[in-house]
Structure 1
Amino acid sequence: MAEHDRTDQAEDANELAELLVGIHRLMRRRLRHDLGSARLRGAQVELLRLVRGRPGIGVAAAAKELHLAGNSVSTLVNQLVAAGYLERRPDPRDRRAAQLTVTEAARQRMGEWDARRSELITRHVAALPAEDRKALTAALPALRRLTEGLHDELEAI
């Protein structure tokens, strides 16, 4: 591959990364603006999403999945239990371990956030020209594969 092509690819990759970070940050800020309840940190939301998708997951497995230290996840669990968003139950196979589940309050809050996020993105995508909407739709499979590749690389670490 020519040096010029590698430079162009690196610049495109950096622009993609910056745009994805920017979109995420702008969405978070916009959605937080209307939020009435106390703000959750990113790691707390990640843990809640993980537990919602895998009810009964343990702290050690959650730490591995999130690529965080076990004591960091334990701290997050304690915070979310105190806030009423997580429940911790003894694991019937190992009484020293705990199984995590989200509470109804967490399900409701996450559902509201997801609905507001969907509405925000839908509204802004709908305002784009048709060719931009088609380009975004066409890019979804590639973005999904990119996400899977990054996830697989993290798993190998």
Structure 2
Amino acid sequence: MATDEEIARFGASLGELHRLLRRRTHARADREPLPEAQVEVLLLVRAAPEISGKEVAARLGTAANTVSTLVRDLTDAGLLVRDRDPADRRVVRLRLTEAAHRRMADYEVHRAALLTEALAALDPPARAAVLAAAPHLDALLTALRARP
């Protein structure tokens, strides 16, 4: 089993990797980054189109009024569309706009290019080890999602 120090170092590295990759990807795309909370909403709506605002709040573990503000801001920015559920007009269903799809695809292209460049700087065994860890990181993500 890993030591507390190894686990702390792993968590810190993942966090810094995420922050650095996010900042550099936006700089490369020459675009202001969206707030992290808005990105979380967009990713969730992309994964589950027509999700309700209430479901978004539950999955993100945040208050409904917080999600309402995020949805309003994303709608005002032209990245999200709110539709009333025809079966229950009290429910709002969310979907991405074409602009959101393009923005997310553009971000992913820039992120992949940055990762490709960084991976190329590693020696072949280190590069192979990092890439081989991807399925295990996916499993870790699944395990974390399954926990309340």
Larger Rg: 1
**Matched residues, number:** 148
Alpha-carbon separation, structure 1, partners of 2:85 and 2:62: 21
Aligned to 2:90: 96
1:110 aligns with 2:99: no
Of 58, 64, 87, which residue of structure 2 is paired with 1:70?
A: 64
TM value normalised by structure 2: 0.94
Of 136, 139, 152, which residue of structure 1 is paired with 2:130?
A: 136
Sequence identity (%): 40
Higher relative contact order (CA 8 A, sep 6+): 2
Alpha-carbon separation, structure 2, partners of 1:144 and 1:37: 28
How far apart are residue 65 of structure 1 and its match?
Answer: 1.2
Q: How does 1:4-153 map to 2 (within 5 A)?
A: 9-153=3-147
Superposed CA deviations along residues 64-113 of structure 1, whole A, max 9, x for unmatched, are 11111111111100000001000001001110111100001111111100
3-state SS, counterpart of residue 3 of structure 2? helix
How far apart are residue 133 of structure 1 and its match?
Answer: 1.2
Superposed CA deviations along residues 123-146 of structure 1, whole A, max 9, x for unmatched, are 111221110011112222221221
Q: What letter corresponds to residue 119 of structure 2 in structure 1?
A: V
Unpaired runs of 5+ residues, structure 1, are: none
Alpha-carbon separation, structure 1, partners of 2:111 and 2:54: 30
Cα 1:26–1:38 change in 2 (3 A) is closer
Larger displacement relative to structure 2 (142-151 or 78-87): 142-151
Unpaired runs of 5+ residues, structure 2, are: none
Q: What letter corresponds to residue 66 of structure 1 in structure 2?
A: L
Would you say the 8 A contact 2:26–2:107 is kept in 1? no
